[in-house]
């Protein structure tokens, strides 16, 4: 099992969710985060002056899937979340040692 | 832009889209016209019918209004009580009071999340303090007879402290004294709230209380008496009497300069880097409430200016003041919006809010005496002046989170001066029973053949009050600073005033958005 963690632009969330539903992914966890990479924040305007916002709002998606699904999921996220402009985000894959479904106490791949 | 359009139109898909949208717009316009025709046909027919029936009645009243006298009906023997004037003053007092909600929204919106509760509570407590202080001695000092600099009671020497010995009505206004008290309390409240706009984010709450007492209890009533007291010395200066219809000087210049003194003595918020050092303003946290707050202030101004006629019977005056107030706000909003746009090619919402507020502040002094055209000009210029004021503070490294000094202080000065330029020479003064446009009461400005006299008087009055207030408020702020309560500790400021002074978060469930 692997966890796929993706940091994406907030307005891309619906598209990514649709794309994942199309390849059969049935669940995910989403959180609102702030961050920057080489984008280095953005410049905004207020009352006639510019100021820099260091941390830009992003969405973090976390999905735990069986090993054979990882490539499909990563590809789907990368293709839909991409805009071609700086700040598109990153995808990380982290191995998961255990998983359990709380309602039924199932473990392993049956739990994801 | 045209080139972009023609290249786009070569694509058949884009062409079809264009025809669809254009066709839709034409259809929509056509429907609008049909509705307009239909509605006007319906109402036109019923109105015409009504007019035909009462034709004789309407023609009979016309001559009466045409022969209206230049001087109003004389005020009846005391005690003169005017229910309609009292009602008018009360209703407008309620509107002016509602500006507190506007200030709370505006200031909270421009502040950060971490000091939002502080801004809101400061607004509420400052209001409560102001009411009590104005009751105790503020009203007596400001509106009582006394000498040119301070008042204390009626002309027989009975003092008005704790609202004792009041007559049924205030002077010859015909307005119940307690209604007039409420109206003026609302103005005092406005002045003291302005200060907090420049001082938010780093002022300890004890400090807030002390300077509020200083402003509402001492600075506003005493310096306000100079212009609005029955024997205020600015009423009899030369070459002309100083005029401030609803308070560009008394409320806004005073408030704005106390705010400036506070911002200077406090110093900027931690982490504030200024434009010339490669930084910029600190981000606001809620533009929605800031913008709506600004518009609530605009709404409240419909009590602030028209209510200052203190007379519902001067119908032309009240209407003219309301119209001028509106047009100045419109001019100010557009002036600021268009002045800032070229800088970054962005339509700056915060600047526009400051812009229409600046227009409103500026028109507050001259609103009775200028024409609608003059009001637009005064507002437009204020919209530009306010942005320049914001730039100036940025250059001087003074942190004013809401622009309290540029909006109220600087445009209060401009508004006061503008009377000396734009007063048309057609209008005199409101009286309890109508308008007094006799020769002695007329106010005339430079652009309308009135010469420099009024302008000079405006500069004198504004400088006397503004200059004295600035010096006294610097003393006040340094005095509060000496008690150690003015600025909150460094740790307290960084963790946020809400947690440090008020034990909570403004948005407890939304930790992701805290800043």
CATH number of the structural domain spanning residue B91: 1.10.3430.10
DSSP letters for B270-325:
TT---GGGT--PPP-S-HHHHHHHHHHHHHHHHHHTGGGG--SS-HHHHHHHHHHH
Q: Residues B444-448: what's their mean pLDDT?
A: 94
Return the closest-CA partner of residue B287 out of A44, A39, A13.
A44
Residue the block writes with tokens 């009975």 = B158
Q: Chain B closest CA to A88's CA: distance in Å? A: 20
Are the C-beta atoms of A35 and A68 separated by less than 8 Å?
no
Q: Do B350 and A52 touch (CB under 8 A)?
A: no
Each residue's pLDDT tens digit, B374-414: 999 999 999 999 999 999 999 999 999 999 999 999 999 99
Q: What is the pLDDT of residue B65?
A: 44
Look at residue B221 and tell me if it is in a domain. yes
Least confident window among A73-82, A95-104, B44-53, B436-445 = B44-53
Q: Do A47 and B281 touch (CB under 8 A)?
A: yes
Are the C-beta atoms of B193 and B98 separated by less than 8 Å?
no
Q: Is the model's pLDDT at B346 over the cut of 90?
A: yes
- Picking from A32, A33, A48, the nearest residue to B348 by CB comes out as A48
Tokens describing residue B193: 């709230």
Q: Do A47 and B275 touch (CB under 8 A)?
A: no
* Chain A residues 26-55 with CB within 8 Å of chain B: 31-33, 44-53
Return the closest-CA partner of residue B434 out of B321, B306, B316, B323.
B316
Do B166 and B18 share a domain, yes or no? no
Each residue's pLDDT tens digit, B347-356: 999 999 999 9
Residue in B with minimal Cα distance to A55: B515
Which residue(s) pair with A46 in the sheet? A49
Q: What is the pLDDT of residue B469?
A: 97
Q: How many domains does chain B have?
A: 2
Q: Is the model's pLDDT at B59 over the cut of 50?
A: no
Q: How confident is the model at residue B45 (pLDDT cuts 50, 70, 90)?
A: low
Tokens describing residue B342: 């070229």
Do B27 and B110 share a domain, yes or no? no
Q: What is the pLDDT of residue B270?
A: 95
Q: What is the pLDDT of residue B89?
A: 97
Q: What is the pLDDT of residue B76?
A: 64
Q: What number of C-beta contacts closer than 8 Å exist between A and B?
A: 45
Q: How confident is the model at residue B15 (pLDDT cuts 50, 70, 90)?
A: confident
Domain that holds residue B139: 84-502
Do B27 and B94 share a domain, yes or no? no
- Picking from A31, A32, A46, the nearest residue to B283 by CB comes out as A46
Q: How confident is the model at residue B514 (pLDDT cuts 50, 70, 90)?
A: low
* Chain A residues 52-111 with CB within 8 Å of chain B: 52-53
Q: Residues B307-315: what's their mean pLDDT?
A: 94
Residue B338 parent element (H or E): helix B315-344
Q: Chain A closest CA to B372's CA: distance in Å? A: 28
Return the closest-CA partner of residue B173 out of B302, B301, B369, B307.
B307
Q: How far out from the chain centre does Cα B377 lie?
A: 17
Q: What is the pLDDT of residue B66?
A: 43
- Picking from A32, A45, A53, the nearest residue to B344 by CB comes out as A45
Look at residue B421 and tell me if it is in a domain. yes
Look at residue B271 and tell me if it is in a domain. yes
Look at residue B414 and tell me if it is in a domain. yes
Q: Is the model's pLDDT at A18 over the cut of 60?
A: yes
Q: How confident is the model at residue B57 (pLDDT cuts 50, 70, 90)?
A: very low
Q: What is the pLDDT of residue B56?
A: 44
Q: How confident is the model at residue B68 (pLDDT cuts 50, 70, 90)?
A: very low
Q: Residues B274-282: what's their mean pLDDT?
A: 91
Cβ contacts (< 8 Å) between B403 and chain A: which residues? Answer: 47
Look at residue B362 and tell me if it is in a domain. yes
Do B120 and B173 share a domain, yes or no? yes
Q: How confident is the model at residue B107 (pLDDT cuts 50, 70, 90)?
A: very high
For chain B, the average pLDDT equals: 91
Look at residue B64 and tell me if it is in a domain. no
Q: Half-sphere exposure of B251 toward its Cβ, with a 13 Å CA cutoff?
A: 28
Q: How confident is the model at residue B67 (pLDDT cuts 50, 70, 90)?
A: very low
Q: Is the model's pLDDT at B189 over the cut of 60?
A: yes
Q: What is the pLDDT of residue B46?
A: 57
Interface test with B, best of A42, A48, A50, A53 (most B CBs within 10 A): A48
Interface test with B, best of A34, A49, A53 (most B CBs within 10 A): A49
Do B39 and B115 share a domain, yes or no? no
Q: How confident is the model at residue B63 (pLDDT cuts 50, 70, 90)?
A: very low
The CATH number given to A2-111 is 3.30.70.120
Cβ contacts (< 8 Å) between A49 and chain B: which residues? Answer: 275, 280-281, 390-391, 394
Q: Is the model's pLDDT at B58 over the cut of 50?
A: no
Q: Do B350 and A53 touch (CB under 8 A)?
A: no
- Picking from A31, A32, A46, the nearest residue to B350 by CB comes out as A46
Q: Is the model's pLDDT at B164 over the cut of 80?
A: yes
Each residue's pLDDT tens digit, A28-58: 999 999 999 887 788 899 999 998 888 899 9
Q: Chain B closest CA to A43's CA: distance in Å? A: 10
Do B143 and B15 share a domain, yes or no? no
Each residue's pLDDT tens digit, B221-263: 999 999 999 999 999 988 899 999 999 999 999 999 999 999 9
Q: Is the model's pLDDT at B155 over the cut of 80?
A: yes
Q: Provide the percentage of residues in chain B whose pLDDT is more than 70.
A: 92
For chain A, the average pLDDT equals: 93
CA distance B221 to B211: 14
Q: Do A44 and B283 touch (CB under 8 A)?
A: yes
Interface test with A, best of B281, B399, B410, B512 (most A CBs within 10 A): B281
Look at residue B133 and tell me if it is in a domain. yes
Cβ contacts (< 8 Å) between A56 and chain B: which residues? Answer: none
Q: Residues B487-494: what's their mean pLDDT?
A: 95
Q: What is the pLDDT of residue B142?
A: 97
Cβ contacts (< 8 Å) between A35 and chain B: which residues? Answer: none
Do B90 and B41 share a domain, yes or no? no
């Amino acid at each position: 099992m692997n966890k796929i963690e993706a940091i994406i632009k907030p307005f891309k969330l619906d598209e990514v969710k649709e794309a994942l539903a199309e390849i059969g992914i049935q669940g995910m966890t989403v959180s609102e985060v702030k961050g920057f990479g080489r984008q280095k924040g953005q410049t905004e305007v207020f009352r006639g002056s510019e100021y820099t916002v260091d941390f830009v709002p992003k969405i973090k998606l976390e999905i735990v899937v069986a090993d054979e699904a990882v490539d499909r999921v990563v590809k789907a996220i990368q293709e839909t979340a991409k805009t071609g402009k700086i700040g598109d985000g990153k995808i990380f894959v982290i191995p998961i040692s255990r998983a359990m479904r709380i309602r039924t106490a199932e473990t392993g791949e049956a739990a994801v | 832009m045209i080139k972009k359009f023609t290249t786009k139109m070569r694509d058949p898909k884009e062409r079809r889209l264009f025809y669809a949208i254009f066709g839709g717009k034409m259809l929509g316009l056509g429907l609008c016209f049909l509705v307009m025709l239909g509605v006007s046909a319906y109402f036109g027919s019923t109105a015409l019918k009504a007019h035909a029936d009462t034709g004789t009645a309407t023609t009979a009243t016309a001559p009466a209004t045409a022969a209206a006298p230049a001087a109003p009906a004389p005020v009846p023997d005391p005690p003169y009580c005017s229910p309609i004037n009292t009602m008018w003053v009360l209703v407008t007092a309620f509107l002016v009071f509602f500006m507190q909600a506007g200030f709370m929204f505006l200031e909270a919106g421009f502040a950060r999340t971490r000091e939002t509760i502080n801004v809101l509570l400061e607004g509420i407590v400052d209001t409560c303090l102001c009411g009590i202080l104005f009751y105790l001695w503020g009203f007596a000092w400001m509106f009582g007879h006394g000498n040119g600099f301070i008042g204390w009671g009626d002309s027989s020497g009975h003092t008005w402290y704790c609202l004792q010995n009041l007559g049924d009505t205030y002077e010859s206004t015909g307005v119940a004294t307690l209604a007039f008290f409420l109206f003026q309390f609302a103005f005092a409240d406005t002045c003291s709230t302005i200060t907090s706009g420049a001082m938010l984010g780093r002022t300890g709450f004890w400090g807030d209380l002390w300077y509020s007492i200083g402003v509402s209890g001492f600075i506003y009533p005493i310096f306000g008496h100079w212009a609005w007291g029955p024997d205020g010395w600015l009423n009899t200066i030369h070459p002309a009497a100083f005029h401030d219809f609803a308070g560009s000087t008394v409320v806004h210049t005073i408030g704005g300069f106390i705010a400036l003194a506070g911002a200077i003595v406090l110093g900027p918020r931690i982490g504030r880097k200024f434009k010339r050092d490669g930084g910029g303003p600190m981000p606001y946290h809620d533009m929605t409430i800031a913008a709506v707050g600004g518009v609530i202030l605009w709404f409240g101004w419909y009590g602030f200016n028209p209510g200052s006629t203190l007379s519902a019977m001067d119908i032309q005056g009240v209407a003219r003041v309301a119209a001028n107030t509106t047009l100045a706000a419109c001019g100010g909003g557009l002036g600021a919006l268009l002045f800032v746009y070229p800088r970054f090619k962005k339509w700056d919402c915060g600047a526009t809010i400051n812009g229409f507020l600046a227009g409103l502040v500026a028109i507050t002094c001259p609103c009775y005496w200028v024409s609608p055209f003059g009001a637009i000009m005064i507002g437009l210029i204020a919209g530009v002046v306010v942005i320049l004021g914001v730039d100036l503070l940025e250059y001087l490294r003074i942190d004013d989170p809401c622009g309290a000094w540029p909006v109220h202080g600087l445009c209060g000065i401009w508004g006061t001066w503008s009377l000396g330029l734009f007063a048309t020479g057609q209008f005199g003064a409101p009286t309890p029973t109508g308008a007094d446009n006799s020769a002695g009461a007329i106010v005339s400005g430079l652009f309308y053949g009135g010469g420099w006299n009024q302008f000079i008087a405006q500069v004198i009055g504004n400088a006397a009050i503004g200059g004295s207030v600035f010096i006294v408020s610097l003393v006040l702020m340094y005095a509060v600073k000496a008690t150690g309560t003015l600025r909150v500790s460094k740790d307290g400021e960084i963790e946020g005033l809400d947690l440090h002074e008020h034990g909570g978060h403004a948005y407890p469930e939304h930790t992701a958005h805290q800043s």
